[in-house]
């Protein structure tokens, strides 16, 4: 990570990388954007390297021209949520033999019979979890609640807050956060 930060700094700053001796003599100046929610700022300061990685992945994966706008960050978050939702729904889609959107017990049993012991156990557990009223049938509403619960478990709010925080690193206020802006800010919190 230090190598990446150093590389980003070299790419984005004409000046030489700050001397380590100077940085060791005084604590680094913290210049995180003031509009960051306190708990997000705390998380970034605790692991600036992790935040720089996350921001770089986000910008490379979902940004344009080395920068990302808030709307594209929301799209990235929605894509993650859709992935987790689809992952939770898939075992049930594979068991919905008559494709009516409702899982009857015999449908799940038929699917379970084709699986390994481990797979069968997993499907049974998912069935118990999804069948909220335990009547043996999983309705579309139960399925939807099951999927949203899986999304809530998988997409941790603190991670989404960190992704949204990337947009705040818009030092030149052009509406996007760039790799250079992130690198410049991270230099002040992770000088070594
Ligand atoms: Ca069905
Ligand atoms: Ca039910």
Q: pLDDT tens digit string along 38-77?
A: 889 999 999 998 999 999 999 999 999 999 999 999 999 9
Rounded CA separation 79/70 (Å): 14
- Of the two residues 25 and 58, the one the predictor is more confident about is 58
Same domain, 118 and 97: yes
| Amino acid 9: pLDDT | 44
Compute the distance from residue 116 Cα to the ligand 2 centre, in Å.
25
Ligand nearest to the CA of 97: 1
Same domain, 63 and 7: yes
Compute the distance from residue 102 Cα to the ligand 2 centre, in Å.
9
Same domain, 59 and 88: no
Domain of residue 93 covers 77-154
Ligand nearest to the CA of 108: 1
Compute the distance from residue 140 Cα to the ligand 1 centre, in Å.
10
Report whether pLDDT(15) > 90. Answer: no
Query: What average pLDDT is seen over the chain?
Result: 86
**For residue 3, what pLDDT band results from cuts at 50, 70 and 90?**
very low
Ligand nearest to the CA of 102: 1
162 belongs to a structural domain: no
160 belongs to a structural domain: no
125 belongs to a structural domain: yes
Rounded CA separation 144/130 (Å): 9
Rounded CA separation 70/177 (Å): 8
Ligand nearest to the CA of 138: 2
Return the biggest CA–CA distance within the chain: 71
Same domain, 140 and 174: no
Same domain, 131 and 172: no
Report whether pLDDT(162) > 70. Answer: yes
In this prediction, what percent of the chain has a pLDDT beyond 90?
69
Same domain, 135 and 174: no
């Amino acid at each position: 990570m230090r190598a990446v930060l150093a590389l980003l700094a070299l790419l984005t700053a004409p000046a030489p990388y700050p001397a380590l001796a100077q940085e060791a003599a005084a604590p680094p100046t913290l210049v995180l954007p003031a509009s960051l929610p306190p708990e997000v700022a705390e998380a970034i300061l605790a692991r600036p390297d992790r935040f720089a990685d996350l921001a770089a992945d986000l910008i490379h994966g979902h940004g344009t021209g080395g920068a990302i706008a808030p709307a594209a960050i929301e799209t990235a978050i929605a894509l993650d949520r859709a992935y987790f939702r689809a992952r939770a729904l898939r075992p049930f889609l594979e068991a919905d033999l008559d494709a009516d959107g409702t899982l009857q017990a015999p449908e799940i049993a038929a699917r379970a019979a084709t699986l390994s012991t481990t797979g069968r156990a997993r499907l049974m557990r998912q069935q118990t979890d999804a069948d909220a009223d335990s009547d043996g049938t999983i309705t579309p509403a139960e399925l939807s609640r099951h999927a949203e619960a899986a999304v809530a478990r998988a997409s941790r709010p603190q991670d989404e807050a960190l992704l949204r925080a990337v947009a705040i690193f818009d030092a030149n206020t052009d509406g996007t956060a760039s790799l250079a802006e992130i690198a410049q800010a991270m230099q002040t919190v992770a000088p070594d």
